[in-house]
Amino acid sequence: MTANDVTLSDIRAARERIAGKVERTPTVPSPNLSGHLGAPVYLKLEHRQITGSFKLRGASNAIASLNAGEKARGVVAASTGNHGRALAHAAKLEGMRATICMSRLVPQNKLDEIRRLGAEIRIVGNSQDDAQQEVDRLVAEDGLIMLPPFDHPDIIAGQGTLGLEIIEQVADAALVLVPLSGGGLAAGVAAAVKGVSPGTKVIGVSMARGAAMKASLDAGHPVLVEELPTLADSLGGGIGLDNRLTFSMCRDLLDDVILLNEDEIAAGIRHAYEQEREIVEGAGAVAIAAVLAGKVGASGPTVLILSGRNIDMTLHRKVVCGEAFKESAA
């Protein structure tokens, strides 16, 4: 642990701060996936969170932590969609202005939703890094407050509240599978879960196409990876070469990282729909996909986080019919 790490007490404080602003989502058993794994499998239904993803936890905590002067200036972020959506919602609740910068790769459905939530949108460049440069400019020139999607202590602590719920709902969890991109969710959940239940393992799951945290962990320091289109679009983007918190927390707290190809992610979305009767986006399906692909060992009760549901429904229909992943993987 380094001095900058987000601790269990930070996460407990976050929970107090966001109580009443986010849902406590259910965790339910999956008899079907338990059969696949050979151990009890539970699904944490966080895709049912307000705004359709766990990102509302971190956004609500970060906004509630601002002082009055900061609230008056308004917030800004770069986002592949769900963070922007969460910030827009949380800022509106607080009566604040939110500006969201995003790249041209962001799907139209996510953009429309953020606009509907009342945020200002700026579309810049072809990558998360280009969008981030616009954020930096607005911070420097207009004095807006930046709330990044993952590498911020209040964001990580907010996401960690999901981990507290998991251990309350499945006290004997042996393993938690967490969708992994920038690592705010994985760092927060691992800090919470291991803080309360040190013997529980936490494993991150990413898509093979552009897995920045995995490449960085292998290299021993943050590295750049090429951004590629993937069904798990919410897992796209780098971790930042100047990463402050999530790289070291993931290095110290995660027991492993699993990578999945596009066919495997499509199978996860399809399984969620047909067997579990849940609509999830690609990023939200990776924990299910890891079990279906046989990439997880049975060590005891296993909790899979379904992290989001904000998928374009035309794409969802194609995936369920077995078409779309072939296009996106081409």
Ligand X SMILES: *Cc1c(COP(=O)(O)O)cnc(C)c1O
For the CB of residue 29, give the shortest distance to ligand X in the complex, in Å: 22
Which residues are within 8 A (CB) of 313 and not within 5 positions of it... i.e. 6 or more apart?
A: 109
For the CB of residue 39, give the shortest distance to ligand X in the complex, in Å: 24
**Could you tell me the maximum CA-CA distance found in the chain, to the nearest angstrom?**
56
Strands, E, within the chain: which ranges? 27-29, 41-44, 75-78, 98-102, 120-123, 145-146, 175-179, 201-207, 256-260, 302-305
| CA dist., res. 207 & res. 210, Å (int) | 7
61, with CB counted inside 10 A (0-12, 13-18, 19+), is buried
Q: Which is nearer to ligand X, 301 or 308 (CB)?
A: 308
Q: Which is nearer to ligand X, 170 or 177 (CB)?
A: 177
Structure tokens at 276: 């579990």
| CA dist., res. 119 & res. 82, Å (int) | 13
Q: Which is nearer to ligand X, 40 or 319 (CB)?
A: 319
User: Which single residue brings its beta carbon nearest to ligand X?
Assistant: 308
Q: Which is nearer to ligand X, 66 or 156 (CB)?
A: 156
For the CB of residue 85, give the shortest distance to ligand X in the complex, in Å: 9
Strands 27-29 and 41-44: antiparallel
For the CB of residue 72, give the shortest distance to ligand X in the complex, in Å: 28
Structure tokens at 54: 């766990």
| CA dist., res. 213 & res. 238, Å (int) | 8
| CA dist., res. 13 & res. 1, Å (int) | 19
For the CB of residue 279, give the shortest distance to ligand X in the complex, in Å: 12
Q: Is 224 left (phi over 0), alpha (psi -120 to 50) or beta?
A: beta
Q: Which is nearer to ligand X, 40 or 237 (CB)?
A: 237
What residues make contact with ligand X under the rule CB under 6 A? 53, 55, 82, 149-150, 179-186, 234-235, 281, 283-284, 307-308
Q: Which is nearer to ligand X, 22 or 40 (CB)?
A: 22
For the CB of residue 260, give the shortest distance to ligand X in the complex, in Å: 13
Q: Which is nearer to ligand X, 40 or 84 (CB)?
A: 84
Report the DSSP beta bridge partners of residue 203.
177, 256
Contact assessment for residue 147 and residue 91, using Cβ atoms and an 8 Å cutoff: no
For the CB of residue 83, give the shortest distance to ligand X in the complex, in Å: 6
Q: Which is nearer to ligand X, 40 or 311 (CB)?
A: 311
Contact assessment for residue 174 and residue 197, using Cβ atoms and an 8 Å cutoff: no
The CA-to-CA distance between both ends of the chain, in Å, stands at 42
| CA dist., res. 96 & res. 84, Å (int) | 14
For the CB of residue 283, give the shortest distance to ligand X in the complex, in Å: 3
Q: Which is nearer to ligand X, 183 or 210 (CB)?
A: 183
